[in-house]
Structure 1
C-alpha cells in the first residue's frame, strides 16, 4: 500500500513536538510492515534539505510564517501543490491536521480530488475564540472533517471537541504507539550521579518553571544530582533563564535549548528520571519515549497517561505544581531500587499496551476500508 502522511512541520531543532513524532513513528512502523510510505511536511532550518529524517523517507517543502519561528500563520504552498499531485497515486492520504495553512489546504486539495484520506488532529482542532478560527472553519476545517473517511481522536475530550467543530464525522479512536528500542541501563546503576530531565517546549502548559523550582527544592537533599532542561523557547525562555540564574545551582541546573530530533533519544538515555510537570497534557509522546527506554517518569494528575503510569508503577503521578512534583521525584531519587523497578515496569507497559504493532494493524484496516468506500 502506498501511503502519504502529511504533517505541518519538520525541523532540525525539533520545535514541532508531538504530532510530528507520532507521524514519524507511524511511518517507520508502516514501512517495517512492508508499505511504501512518505512523510510530507513543511520545514525550515535545514541546509541541505534531507530526504530522510529519523529513518523515514520525507519530502520537505519550505514553510513560512508571518513571525519567524512562530507557528501562527504557518504556510507552505509548495507542499499543498505536491500533495494535490502525489495524492492522486496514493492508496491513502493521512493528514495530521492543525488549523494552519499547511495541513488544512493539503487536506482540502485531497478532498477536492476525491481521493481517500484520513485525519488525525492531536487535540489541535478544538472550538476556539481566535478571530482567525472562524474563517478557517467556514472555508476549510468543517469541509475536510466531514469529508474524511475517518477522523482519528485520542481522548474522549478530543472527540467531544471535534463534534463541536463539525458534524457528522466518521470518528475512530486511535491511540499513540511507540517502538521498543534496545534496553539501556539507568546511568546511576553504573555509579554516575543521577540526572533528572525535562525535555519539552519551554512554554506555559509544559510548566518549565515548576521544573526549575523542583530542582531548587531537591538540590540540597541530593547534592550530586544534576537537572537538565532541553527544548525550544516558546514564550517562557527569559523567565526560565532568570529563574535558573537565581537558583545559584550553577551547572547542576542547565537549559540546553532545542536538540535535533536524532539527539533526543540520547538525552533520554543519559537521564535516570524523566519529568513532565505540564498540565492537561493529553498523551505526551515524550513520556512514551522515556518509558520505552526504561526510564521512570513523573507526570501530573491531569496527564492523559497518568492512569497507566499509576497502575503499572512506572514512576509517579503528582499533584500539579512544584511541591507535588518535587515530592514524587524525591522519592525516586532516594530509592535506587525503586528507580530500577519503575524503569523495568515502563518498558513492560510499552511492550504490552503501548507498542506500535496494534496501531499499525488498525491503520492498515482503516486505510483499506476508506479506500474501498471511496473507489
Structure 2
C-alpha cells in the first residue's frame, strides 16, 4: 500500500503524538508499505527527520507561513496534494484540529482517496482554547469526522469521546499506542545519569519526563514533592523535557517553596540519555490533568521503573496495582502514593517486573501494526 501520514508538526519536542507517528510509519515501512509523512517545517529537527528517512520513510516538510497555536498555516499543501495525492491508496490523519486536516479532507474527497482519523486525545473541545475549538468544529471539525472512513481511539475512554462528538460506534476502532521493544533490549547501566547530575547513590529519585506544559500537572507534583521532602530525607525530584509554556512558572514555584537544592531540571533528553534517566529513577510520576495515552508510562515500565500516575490518564486501569499506583489528582493522594513506593523496595521491584511484562504482552508495535493493516485493507476492499 501507498500510505500518506498527515501530521501538522514533526519534531520530538511535541511529545507522544510525534513519537507514535514516527514508530508507526517506520514499522509500516518495515512491513513493506510505501509510507510518506506530510507535515510542516515548524520547529523542524533535521536529525530527527533524517533518521526516519534512513528507515525508508519519505518526509515532506512544507513551509509554514505562521502558527496560530492550533492552526499551522502551510498554503503550499494545496499544490502538493493536487500533484501527488492521487498516487496514494489511503490517508492516515493524526491529531484532529489542524489546517492540514481541513485541506487534506477536501482533496481526499476530490480524488476519492479514503482517510482515517486518529485524534490522539484531541477530539473533545476542552481544556485550553475551548471557544476556538468549538468554532473550528462547527466550520470544519464535524465534516472531518463525518467523512472519515474510520476513526481510531487509543483507549475505551477515547472511544466514548468520539461518540460524544457524534461518531457512530461502528466507525470507531481501538488501537493503543505501542513501544518498540527492540530499543529497550539493552538498557544502560544504572548510575550514569546520577553521576552526570551529581545525585548520590543512596538518594531516592522521583522522575517526571515529558513536555513542560500545564496539562501535565507538574505544579501538582512539585507541591506534593514539597511535602514529601519534609517527611523523607535523601530525595530528589528530576524534571526532564522541553518547555511548552510552563517552565518559568514551575521554576518560580521551586524558588518559592525553597526546593532549589532538591529539584533538577535537565531540559529535553533523547535516546540513550533518556533511558539513563528512566533506569536511574526509583519511581516515575505522571500527574497529568488529562492524558489520553501516556507513552512515557510504557517507556518507564519497559525500563523496569515503577510508576505513579493520576487517574485522569488513559491506561490507568491497566497499570493500577500491576505496574504502579494510580492516585487521585490532588496533592495528598499523589504524595502518599509516591511515599508508598519510595519506602517499600519490595513493592517497587514487584511493580517494575510486572510492568515490563505488561508492556511486552499488550503494547508490542508488531501486533499493533498488524491490526492497523487490517483496518487499511478493510477500507480499501469496500
TM-score, shorter chain, exceeding 0.5: yes
**1:113 alignment partner in structure 2:** 111
Considering only aligned residues, what root-mean-square deviation do their CA atoms show, in Å?
3.0
Which shifted more, 44-53 or 224-233?
44-53
Report the secondary structure of 1:177's partner residue. coil
Residue pair 1:194, 1:333 contacting (<8 A) in 2 also: yes
**1:201 alignment partner in structure 2:** 211
- Within 2, Cα distance between the matches of 1:84 and 1:16? 28
In the superposition, relative to structure 1, how do residues 73 and 263 fare at CA in structure 2: closer, same or farther (>3 Å)? farther
**1:212 alignment partner in structure 2:** 222
**1:302 alignment partner in structure 2:** 312
Residue pair 1:219, 1:225 contacting (<8 A) in 2 also: yes
Which shifted more, 80-89 or 49-58?
49-58
In the superposition, relative to structure 1, how do residues 319 and 47 fare at CA in structure 2: closer, same or farther (>3 Å)? closer
**1:5 alignment partner in structure 2:** 5
Residue pair 1:51, 1:59 contacting (<8 A) in 2 also: no
How far off its partner does 1:332 sit?
1.8
TM-score by length of structure 1 reads 0.86
Report the secondary structure of 2:17's partner residue. helix
Residue pair 1:229, 1:255 contacting (<8 A) in 2 also: yes
**1:254 alignment partner in structure 2:** 264
In the superposition, relative to structure 1, how do residues 315 and 365 fare at CA in structure 2: closer, same or farther (>3 Å)? same
How far off its partner does 1:99 sit?
1.0
How far off its partner does 1:139 sit?
4.2
- Within 2, Cα distance between the matches of 1:348 and 1:330? 24
Deviations 1:142-184 (A, max 9, x none): 2332222211123444334334434557222222222222153
In the superposition, relative to structure 1, how do residues 362 and 325 fare at CA in structure 2: closer, same or farther (>3 Å)? same
Residue pair 2:37, 2:60 contacting (<8 A) in 1 also: yes
Deviations 1:301-342 (A, max 9, x none): 232221111252x11111212221221111222233332332
TM-score by length of structure 2 reads 0.84
In the superposition, relative to structure 1, how do residues 158 and 301 fare at CA in structure 2: closer, same or farther (>3 Å)? closer
Aligned residues: 367
- Within 1, Cα distance between the matches of 2:317 and 2:164? 26
1:356-375 aligned within 5 A: 356-373=365-382
Residue pair 2:210, 2:240 contacting (<8 A) in 1 also: yes
Match of 1:334 among 343, 355, 358: 343
- Within 2, Cα distance between the matches of 1:79 and 1:252? 48
Ranges in structure 2 where 5+ consecutive residues have no aligned partner: 195-200
In the superposition, relative to structure 1, how do residues 65 and 291 fare at CA in structure 2: closer, same or farther (>3 Å)? farther
In the superposition, relative to structure 1, how do residues 46 and 146 fare at CA in structure 2: closer, same or farther (>3 Å)? closer
In the superposition, relative to structure 1, how do residues 34 and 317 fare at CA in structure 2: closer, same or farther (>3 Å)? same
Report the secondary structure of 1:3's partner residue. strand
Ranges in structure 1 where 5+ consecutive residues have no aligned partner: none
